[in-house]
Amino acid sequence: MDDASGNLEEQLGSVEEQIRGLEECIRRVEEEISGVEESIRKVEEQVEKCSDDQQKQQLRGKEAQLRDEKAQLRDEKAQLRSKEAQLRDEIAQFLQGRDLGTEHDWVVQEVVVPDVPSGLCSYPSCSTKERMYNPLKVEHWDVKGEIEEFFKRADKRKRAYEISVTSSTRKTSVTAKMEGTIVANIMSEMQHFMEKKQPQLTFRFESQVVLSFIEKKKDKTDETDETDKADKKDEADKTGSDATFSPKLVDLMIRNPRADFVVTIQEKNALVVEVKNGGLGPDQGDPWHLHKAWTECSCIPGEGDPNCRCEVLGITAAHGEKLIRCISQLYEYMALSEVGYGVLTDARNWYLFKRDNAGCLKISIGFKAGGGHPPVLAALTYLVDIACKDNSKFDKGPRHGETPRVHGAAPSDSSSESTDDVKNDPDFRGCGSSNSVSKTTRSTRTCSDGNQLTLKDVSAVDLNLKVTGGIISCEGWSGCVAIGRMYGQAVALKFAYLNTERAEALLKEVVAYQKMKKLWGIFVPRLIEYGTTCNGQAVFVATELIDGVELGEVAVTQEVETAALDALDAVHACGLLHGDIEARNIMVVRGKQPPVRILDFGFSRVTSSKKLQEAERVRLEYLLAHMMK
C-alpha cells in the first residue's frame, strides 16, 4: 500500500473513531431522555392523585420544566445525529477515492478481526427465555462446495466495486465489545456492493428490528357499531388510553425480541443476522460443526457427559447449552421475520442458516474471519444471492406446544366480598355482567396443575391501555405491568404470549386468585378479568390497581409488619404457597385497612404442607426484620 493510500486509511479510521464517539454521546442522551420521561410519568401520577389545587399547580410547573428539559435533550440528540450524518458523508467521499476492484477482488477480501484478549467472555450472550418457535429437526447444511463454485464464478474482469471491507474492520477493537459495529460495517459495504452488482434490486438492512408475535389480522371483536366507537373514544379521552394503538401496546408490553439485523430485498424480508459477543468457535483452528451442539448434546446443565459433543468440542456443558439457545434464538427470529435464511456470528466465526416450512433447520460449517477458505465475504454474498433468487413463501409455522382450543362457557362473576372502595363504585360490574366488551370467543385451557380455565377473548381496544405513564413496572419475571381500564375502573394488566411459561404462570395466578376469593380487597387485589386478547394470541390477567408503594420504600411500622404476616397466613389458610416472597410483591396501600396487599401469584403452589408454609413465613419475618432495623 502506497503512502497516499495509507494516509487515506488513517483519515478514514479517524472519522470512524469520531462517529463511534458520537454514537456513545447519542446513547448517553437517549438514556437521559428516558430518565426525564420516567420523571414526567411520576409527576403525572402525583398530579392525578393530588387533591390540593395549589400543590397540583406546582406539580404541573415541575412537569412543564421536565418537558422543556426533554425538548432540549431531543435538540441535542438531533444535533449529534446531524454531525454524525456529516461524518458519514465524509466517509462516502473518502470511499469515492478508493481503487476499484472486480467482484472477485471484493469477495476475496479478508474480514480482519483482532484476536480476542484474554479475560474476555468466552460464552455467547443469549437470553434464557423460552422460545415460541423451535426447529423440529436440525441438520448439517453442506454448502461449502456450492460457495466455492460461486467463488470461482465471480467476475475477475469488470472493475466496478470499491475495495473497502478490510479497512472498515481492521481498526475496530473487540475489547470495546464492538462486534455489532464490525458486522454493521460489513452489512453497509455489502449494500453498496449489491447496489452496483444488481442495481435492479432494492437491497436494504435495518438494525435492532422489533419482531412481533401478534399476527397482523383484523380483530373480529372490533366489529362494533358507531355508538360503541363513540363511547370508546369518550372513554379514551377521559383515561388517556388510545384505542387505535391498543393492539400494538399489548405487543409492546410483552417485551418483543429485537433482531440485530434484518436484510430486505425488494421491500421483503430476506434474511436475519444475529450477532454474539464471542463463544461461537475456538480461538484457534477451524470453526465448529455447530449443528452437532443441537443434535448430539446430552449434557445436563451444570454437569458434564464424557460422550457428549460438548466434550468433543472442548467446551463445558454450560457453553453447549448457550450454543443451543443461540440456535433456537436465531430460528425464532427467522420464523417471526418469515424468512428462510439467517446468519449467526460473533464477527470471528460465521454460520449460515437455512430453514423450511416443515420446521427443519440446516446449519453450515463455520467460516473463519481473517483468512479462512472460502472467504467470509464469499459465503455471505452467496447467501444473499440465493435469498434474492428464492421466491418461496416462508411462514412462521406452528408455535411451540400449540394445541387446538375448545370452546366453553364464560368465566364466573367477580366477587362482591370486598372492603375496598371499588365495591361501592356504581360503574363497577363483575365479569359476568353486561358490559361494553365487544363480541367474544371463549376457549378452555388446562393448567399444568390440572385446573381448567375458560378464557374469553377480549379486544385489545377494550383493555383501554393508558398510553402516557401507563407502565407500572418492567422489572421482574412477569414482564411489563400496565395500567388499563375495564368495567369502569382502573386495572393492572399483565400479558404473555399463549403457550409460554409466562402464560402458564398467569393462568396459575388466576387459579390462585379463585382459591383466595374471600381475601379479595382485604389481603390480595381483586381479580377483575382474565382471558385472551389479540385474536387469542396473548393471555392477560387484570386485577384492581393498588394505590400504594412497594414494601420497604417507606418505613415499615409495627402495623405493616403485623398486616404482612396476617396476609401471608391468610394465603396459607387457603391452601396456597406464594412461592416468591419478595419486597416487590408486597404493597403498602394508602388509606386502607389492613394496610398491606400481597401480589404476583405466578409461582404459587397448591399445598397444605405446614413445613413449607412455615419456611415461607420465616422468609417474610426475616425480610421484615431486616427492613425495620
pLDDT for the residue 146? 93
DSSP code of 432? T
Residue 69, judged by CB atoms within 10 A of its CB (0-12, 13-18, 19+), counts as: middle
Segment among 213-227, 432-446, 455-469 with least mean pLDDT: 432-446
Long-range contacts, 424-428 (Cβ 8 Å, 24+): 425/488, 425/489, 427/487, 427/488, 427/489, 428/487, 428/488, 428/489
Q: Over the stretch 401-417, which tens digit does the pLDDT of each residue have?
A: 443 233 222 233 333 33
Q: In what order do the strands lie in the sheet with 527-533?
A: 442-446, 452-458, 527-533, 538-544, 489-497, 481-486, 471-473
**Would you say residue 71 lies in a domain?**
yes
**Would you say residue 161 lies in a domain?**
no
Residue 444 near residue 407, CB atoms below 8 Å: yes
pLDDT tops 70 at residue 433: no
Cell, residue 45: 401520577
Helix (H, G, I), strand (E, B) or coil at 450: coil
pLDDT tops 60 at residue 231: no
Length of the chain: 629
**Would you say residue 608 lies in a domain?**
yes
CA-nearest of 489, 484, 477 to 458 is 484
pLDDT for the residue 163? 76
The phi, psi pair for 317, rounded to 5°, reads: -65, -40
My answer on whether 81 and 141 are in the same domain is no
* Sequence-ordered alpha helix ranges (H) in 261-410: 291-295, 309-312, 317-337, 376-389
262 pairs with which residues across the strands?
206, 272
My answer on whether 503 and 574 are in the same domain is yes
Residue 303 near residue 317, CB atoms below 8 Å: yes
My answer on whether 145 and 252 are in the same domain is yes
Residue 605 near residue 581, CB atoms below 8 Å: no
- Give the CA angle between residues 356, 358, 359 to the nearest 5°: 75
DSSP code of 68? H
- d(Cα 199, Cα 358) in Å, to the nearest integer? 34
Task: Judge if pTM exceeds 0.85.
Answer: no
My answer on whether 368 and 517 are in the same domain is no
My answer on whether 55 and 195 are in the same domain is no
My answer on whether 462 and 319 are in the same domain is no
Between 436 and 547, the higher pLDDT residue: 547
Residue 544 near residue 577, CB atoms below 8 Å: no
**Would you say residue 58 lies in a domain?**
yes
Q: How many CA atoms lie within 13 A of 553 on its CB side?
A: 13
Q: Are strands 489-497 and 538-544 parallel, antiparallel or unpaired?
A: antiparallel
My answer on whether 490 and 366 are in the same domain is no
Helix (H, G, I), strand (E, B) or coil at 120: coil
Percent above pLDDT 70 for the chain: 71
Residue 366 near residue 320, CB atoms below 8 Å: no
My answer on whether 500 and 580 are in the same domain is yes
Segment among 125-129, 150-154, 326-330 with least mean pLDDT: 125-129
Per-position b or e across 524-563, b if 16+ CB within 10 A of its CB? bbbbbbbbbbbbebbbbbbbbbbebeebbeeebeeebbeb
Q: Over the stretch 122-144, which tens digit does the pLDDT of each residue have?
A: 678 776 666 778 888 899 999 99
Residue 382 near residue 193, CB atoms below 8 Å: no
- d(Cα 239, Cα 81) in Å, to the nearest integer? 35
With the C-alpha atoms ordered 202, 207, 213, 219, is the resulting torsion angle positive or negative?
negative
Mean pLDDT of 588-617: 90
Helix (H, G, I), strand (E, B) or coil at 520: strand
My answer on whether 85 and 192 are in the same domain is no
**Would you say residue 606 lies in a domain?**
yes
Using pLDDT thresholds of 50, 70 and 90, give the confidence band for residue 118: very low
Using pLDDT thresholds of 50, 70 and 90, give the confidence band for residue 262: very high
CA-nearest of 466, 575, 7 to 240 is 466
Residue 521, judged by CB atoms within 10 A of its CB (0-12, 13-18, 19+), counts as: buried
Residue 379 near residue 149, CB atoms below 8 Å: no
pLDDT for the residue 179? 78
- d(Cα 208, Cα 260) in Å, to the nearest integer? 5
My answer on whether 293 and 196 are in the same domain is yes
Using pLDDT thresholds of 50, 70 and 90, give the confidence band for residue 362: very high
Domain count of the fold of the chain: 3
pLDDT for the residue 443? 57
489 pairs with which residues across the strands?
486
Using pLDDT thresholds of 50, 70 and 90, give the confidence band for residue 82: confident
- d(Cα 558, Cα 628) in Å, to the nearest integer? 9
With the C-alpha atoms ordered 600, 604, 608, 609, is the resulting torsion angle positive or negative?
negative
Q: Over the stretch 20-45, which tens digit does the pLDDT of each residue have?
A: 788 888 888 888 888 888 888 888 88
Cell, residue 88: 458519514
Q: Please state the three-class secondary structure of 122-141 as a single string.
A: CCCCCCCCCCCCCCCEEEEC
- d(Cα 246, Cα 466) in Å, to the nearest integer? 9
My answer on whether 486 and 597 are in the same domain is yes
Helices and strands counted in the chain (H then E): 15, 22
- d(Cα 166, Cα 92) in Å, to the nearest integer? 16
**Would you say residue 105 lies in a domain?**
no
Mean pLDDT of 181-207: 86
Helix (H, G, I), strand (E, B) or coil at 34: helix
Q: Over the stretch 521-559, which tens digit does the pLDDT of each residue have?
A: 999 999 999 998 887 878 899 999 988 888 988 888 999
Last residue of a domain, one of 394, 422, 447: 394
Which residue range is the domain that position 39 belongs to?
A: 12-94
pLDDT tops 80 at residue 169: no
- d(Cα 158, Cα 149) in Å, to the nearest integer? 19
Between 151 and 240, the higher pLDDT residue: 151
pLDDT for the residue 426? 32
DSSP code of 462? G
Q: Residue 287, preceding bond cis, omega within 30 degrees?
A: no
pLDDT for the residue 219? 43
Q: Over the stretch 474-531, which tens digit does the pLDDT of each residue have?
A: 555 555 688 888 988 889 888 887 777 778 888 889 999 999 999 999 999 999 999 9
Any idea what the CATH number is for the domain that residue 588 is in? 1.10.510.10
My answer on whether 25 and 90 are in the same domain is yes
To the nearest 10°, the Cα dihedral for 173, 179, 185, 188? 180
**Would you say residue 220 lies in a domain?**
no
**Would you say residue 156 lies in a domain?**
no
- d(Cα 585, Cα 595) in Å, to the nearest integer? 14
